[in-house]
Structure 1
Amino acid sequence: MRLQFIFLLTVLPLIAVAQGDSIEVKALLDEAYGYEDTDPTKALEIYGKAYNLSEESAYDLGAFRSLHYSGIVHSNMVNYDSALHYYRKSLAFSDKAKYPKGTAATYINIGNVYQFLGDYDRVADYYLKGIKVFEVIKDSASMAVTYENLAALFSSVKQHQKEMSYLEKALLIVPKANLELMGMIYGDMGLSQSKMDNLPKALEYFTKADSLSKYVDNPKLDFFVQRNFGEYYLLSGSYQKAILFLNRALKTNEKINDPYYRSLLLTHLGEAHAMIKEYSKANSYLKEALEMGQKNKIKEIQEKAYYTLAKIDNDQKNYQRAYKYLNLHMNFKDSLLNEAYLKQISLFEKQYETEKKDNEIASQKLQLQEKENDILKKKNQYNLALGGGGFILLGCLGLWLFYRQRQKIKNNEILALQSQQEVVKLEALIDGEEKERNRLAQDLHDGINGDLAVIKYKISSIEPDKFSKKEKIFYDDAISMLDNAVEQVRRISHNLAPPSLHNFDLIEAIQQFCSKQNASNPINISFQYFGNRLVLKKENETAIYRIIQELINNIMKHANATEALVQLNNHDDKLIITVEDNGQGFDTKSTENGIGLQNIKSRVDFLKANLDINSSAKGTTFCIEIDLKKNKK
């Protein structure tokens, strides 16, 4: 669902330059905008001149627009690393120019780029930043577009009910005169309904969007209307109608010159022709889409094209080639972390858990010593009463016992203070460890990832036409390896410090974790939550998240399971967490169980909870019962 991304970008370049701005810079901006669709390279060159002129004259608003529009052009060209570079650079100038709408729009566009790259945690972060600014300046049209983008985010993680709720919010606040935006929203609502298999409702929304398109002259809205009808008829099995509308959309796409949507339309046309057994046309469309996907590094297109090509060859009994295409399709779904980084993550996990356990032991020791002090004090009082009613000898004996007990109390108090200091030190170490994990995650993402992006940008600027065949292979391999490295570093960063724990509540964070595991692993993981809204301390939420993360990782590594269930049930101040699978089970009494299970038990103790494990050849069930009264915020 990339509709809002394109729509927002077409609005921003039309913002008028304020009275008193540099006439020359404005002329350059207008000239460059005219080249964006026909000659984007020329547009970038002119925007660069506008930026240099703005810098020389300290014209901050001109510098912002030059950089921001350069980011838009790179986004349309599918140069996402470059787009992020220009967007981030433009933020400093929108702040200097005191132009909050530009700042908010930049946040949204950065979020849009991350959405297309699949980095959903960052998408939400930047969208929320943009929404806060739009709320302050009361820009209802931009707010509506941002709600559309949030809907697209939830569509990407297959939460279509939330997607619809944000689209309905967008429809409520969109200015009634903005028929183009209203048409885009109706189109998105139709797409959402189609993903929930409610095709009659989808057709109703698509028809509303079509009606609005008749009142405005906008090629993008016309394109999406035709595209949406094409997808609708493809889903409903009316393949000839689907081909008709998809071809219309393909023709309209020539006006907006969007390579992503052209390649997506080609895959749909290939699928439609394959369904009516026109295999020659289907192969032609799919191979063109595949070539565009490879050229623009669009993994989604390559995955779709390879899958349909595999189905076509299978139908034609070309099983060897079908198997080859199916493997290529699966390669775009699978991702492996670098083994060295995995060892580094494991080391940090073990260090963190060891310090956590030491902290718990020290706390328990402190509690025992405090109880012993209470007992000693009561015993001392008893001895005093006995000595006061006895003889002088007994009194002297009582004084001696008092002195002895008092000395013991002093010694125990000293030990208690020492233990308390030890707890403080351990807590400081744990806090430092968490900060170090976050710092490492940030350094990996912003440092190494940034460097890799710059390296890729510089390598990509080399003209490969003059290379020999062998050098061309090395060049393509280098680009591919850089893409893999960027993806690995991003995943490692999120494993060390999952952003979803900071941006969402615990339930949404767990739901996102399960969805991500479903997307990249063969095991089908179901998530269910019942009961009241869950409110816990952040450290307790982190402990629960880590328990579930560890259990799911153990299932994937050791259980040989095909299905797993994560269920949270919150009723009557009791939170019941159940994680079960249909795997091969394990011996729960074995002393050879690894550090993963020890980490789980340590966190369960931290939560003052009870753990029950049942395992057999038919599967394993972990049941954790937490008394929320003991963990109140």
Structure 2
Amino acid sequence: MRSTVFVFILLLSFFGRSQTGRETRIDSLENALKMAEHDTTRVLVLSELARSYGGVDSLKCFENGFKAIGLSKKINYLRGMADAHINLAGGYLDYFDVENAKKYFEVGNRLADKLVAKDSSAANMKIWLRGYYNLGVAYGYEGNVAKEIEMAAKTIPIAQKMGDKMFVANGNTNLAVKYNSLAMLDESYEMFKISQKQFQEIGSPEDMLYHSISFSSCLASMDSLDQMKSVLDIAKINLDKIPNSFYRGPYYAELGLYYGKVEEYDKALEALDTSYAFYQGKKSYHYLKLLYQRYATIYAKMGDFEKAIAYTLKYINFSDSEHSPSDKVNSYFILAKYEAALDNYKDAYHYLRDYVIAVDSIRARQLGNDMQQLEIQYKTAKKEKEILALKNEKSEAALALQVKRSQTYLLGAIASLLALLLFVGFYAYNDKLRRARKKEREQEKEVALLKQKQENEVFSAMIEGQEKERKRLAIDLHDGLGGRLSGISLNLSKLNKDEPKEYPKAQLQKVTKDLNDALTELRSIARNMMPETLVKFGLQAALKDYCSSMTGNGTKVTLQFYGTEKGIDLNQQVTMYRVIQELINNAVKHAKATEVLVQYMRDGNRVDITVEDNGIGLNKNDFEEKEGGMGISNLRTRVAYLKGDLEFHSEENEGTTVNVQITVDAA
């Protein structure tokens, strides 16, 4: 088992909870519970106790978690119910009960969705972030890497926008660990470097310990031993600041790994002994299993294969149910190598047989029959040898004994050759399977990364589009409506200052005209923000109104509307309106079109939108340059939201045609 599993288990136990002063925090919470005067306070304290006892005391973790859920339901306290379910789920995750963890995370996340819909304060958003992020961790523990990365991509940008630096630092470290476990070492290294800077800025000693131990595992996989030692030195400085730290065992386990890689075996064993002493008597089975593997590796490098075999057997026979088939297969293969190094070919042969059985049970049954036949022949030859030895006085018997000895040697050589051929054949078979699995994992990683990249691009485009819309609205209000209102104000001030003796009809008519113009412009701005006609009368009326408003000053906009908008969700109608609005604006303002034709055609679930103009058009090079602009990017984002396709056809001086094909939810 690779060393990254060790860090992944460590991360599961500690992500999303306070990294400093665990015992002090628990004492403070117990005192706060005794002094609490209100049920809402008791719920939050009980929930936080469940979170703090996770990985420390399972009985108290679940006892406080269920009390918090029961009391929050009794008083109908939504925030308490969400927080308690999520913290209880974290407790199940600390003890590797992934099924129950996912169940309580999903309930807690549904409650958190309702909570932030009513009140999206920072405190409520942190509950929401913790729930969805750790649900991704649970999926990752099951091996669903794509789902875990999806949850991380969903939560980390929001936490960063909120300014929750600790959440972002922990999230980046978790992604680094995940990349390391997938052998994506370059990506893992870069993520660790980012989170290292974040922890140096805001982290406590335990935060730096947590990060350094995780980072050292990645550096070990990269064989970057000098940097691994410098990271472990940082961990030691912070470990000395925290008496009885949980990280004492993990630190010395990683230090032992480092000394083993640089061939300082005495120091490696001393570090592993310190880690082993820390875990003796504790239910930290996963760490002890890892230590047995590392002991075996060190002793094998030292040439002490007997101890290497003993520790490998301790690993195989460890009293838990977390061994995977690949663990046992690899362990039997390693035992065969160790026995062969001790010239114990018979034991090596038996371990190799166990290895073969684990790899391919069907072929192993046939091989078992062949081995039994060889064993019978071996025993028969041995018995005949003993009988002939009793007749050694006669020359003919001595000659026969010599012949039988030769036959025995020949059978032994044949058996050894068969064993060697089996070993080479199954090693090649196992290597082929390993390469196939590696290729499959790489393909899954590429798909997951492409999906994450696409989600990030859509998110960025939406944010930039919103900022552009706000900027445009500000300019319209300031330069357009603001200027008109300023002019009206100056005219009224001047009229008041001049104090006319006669009724100022001409001046008032001018002011009235300016006010009417301002109101017209205000309605135009409001229509651009949210067309009132669309909300009241539907998409067809809104488009007709907008096309009429854009007709004039040498431009004619014609609408052809076939079908209906009935049954289409209002949000989808608004997005369609925005797409058509943007295309008309581009045709009038940028393409300088004098005629624009807008067609809306609906057939069942399919909607086809075409906007055609007679403007200046674009050649291929100009179009590629504008393809990266915000206008087309926003169009593509909106069409993607509608689950549609967007196509441009444009020739210089021959106009532009844009086709949009959308599949709507309603029939």
TM score, norm. by length of structure 1: 0.48
Q: Which one has the largest radius of gyration?
A: 2
